[in-house]
């Protein structure tokens, strides 16, 4: 998929991985609507990006926990730029103490965002198709010992993405669904981890050892993988793992063999 003339919506776009995703989409010709709960960071990023790329971005203060706010944001995106072609469901938190909120943002936010975006993108109801990339995590593929709820949300995101990819093909939606599964990435989410492990704070040292063993990615390495999942029309229902040693499409075994 060529990005020139396309419109993307990125959740959790004000900082970290979402910010890098926004930048790479703009660099490749897309217009980008940034959604985030951090209005200060979002507005100032929008100002900076519009100076660099022209009036190609819009920031909307939007919480992915709110159906109403998300619905209004997609409508505003479509009204402003005429179409929605790409959705990056990226907003996420890691907090084992406030675990219900972790489920609400990381898993329910992805489902909510996908279903609302379908109203604009689905070829069966007047949309032009496109691609939805959900930010999962390496924890969505293998267990992250100190973060069982985070692991559960990311496994859920991988499962939801793969099932939606199959549903989309069978239903003629014209939308590809892929999951991006990074290892550890240098962002705000990684800081103060000790305060965020809740009942597993005794596993802080083990967490740090795992980080040391696996290494840490930059946000731009992750954004390059997003670009691949967006532009490569052959990718649907994929989970792309990226870690400092390289990237790999996950092979899932079939129960029917």
Ligand X SMILES: NC(=O)c1ccc[n+]([C@@H]2O[C@H](COP(=O)([O-])OP(=O)(O)OC[C@H]3O[C@@H](n4cnc5c(N)ncnc54)[C@H](O)[C@@H]3O)[C@@H](O)[C@H]2O)c1
The residues of the shown chain that bind ligand L3HKK7X7, judged by CB under 6 A, are 94, 137-139, 142-144, 183-184, 189-190, 193, 207, 211
The residue assigned the tokens 């279903």 is: 115
What track of x and - describes contact with ligand X for positions 222 through 251 (by CB under 6 A)? ------------------------------
The token duo for 21 is 């995703």
Asked if residue 127 binds ligand X (CB under 6 A), the reply is no
Exactly one of 53, 150, 173, 249 is catalytic; name it: 150
Q: Which of residues 182-211 bind ligand X (CB under 6 A)?
A: 182, 184-185, 187-190
Contact 89, 114 (CB under 8 A): yes
Q: Which does 37 bind (CB under 5 to 8 A by kind): ligand X, ligand L3HKK7X7, none?
A: ligand X
Nearer residue to ligand X within complex by CB, 9 or 118: 9
Asked if residue 16 binds ligand X (CB under 6 A), the reply is yes
Asked if residue 130 binds ligand X (CB under 6 A), the reply is no
d(CA 68, CA 62): 9
Active site residue 173: no
Asked if residue 14 binds ligand X (CB under 6 A), the reply is yes
Catalytic residue IDs: 150
């Amino acid at each position: 998929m060529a990005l020139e003339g396309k419109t993307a919506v990125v959740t959790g776009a004000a900082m970290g991985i979402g910010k890098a995703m926004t930048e790479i989409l703009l660099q490749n010709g897309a217009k980008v609507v940034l959604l985030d709960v951090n209005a200060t960071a979002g507005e100032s990023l929008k100002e900076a990006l519009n100076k660099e790329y022209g009036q190609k971005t819009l920031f909307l203060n939007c919480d992915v926990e709110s159906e109403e706010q998300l619905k209004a944001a997609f409508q505003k995106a479509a009204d402003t730029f005429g179409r929605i072609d790409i959705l990056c469901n990226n907003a996420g938190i890691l907090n084992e103490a406030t675990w219900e909120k972790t489920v609400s943002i990381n898993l329910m936010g992805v489902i909510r965002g996908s279903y609302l975006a379908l109203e604009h993108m689905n070829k069966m109801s007047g949309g032009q198709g496109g691609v939805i990339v959900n930010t999962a995590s390496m924890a969505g593929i293998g267990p992250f010992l100190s973060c069982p709820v985070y692991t559960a949300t990311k496994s859920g995101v991988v499962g939801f993405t793969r099932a939606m990819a199959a549903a989309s093909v069978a239903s003629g939606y014209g939308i590809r669904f892929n999951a991006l599964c990074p290892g550890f990435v240098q962002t705000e989410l990684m800081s103060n981890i000790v305060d965020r492990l809740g009942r597993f704070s005794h596993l802080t040292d083990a967490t740090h050892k795992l980080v040391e063993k696996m290494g840490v990615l930059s946000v731009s390495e992750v954004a390059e993988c997003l670009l691949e999942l967006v532009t490569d029309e052959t990718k649907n229902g994929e989970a792309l793992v990226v870690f400092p040693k390289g990237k790999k499409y996950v092979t899932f075994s079939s129960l029917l063999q």
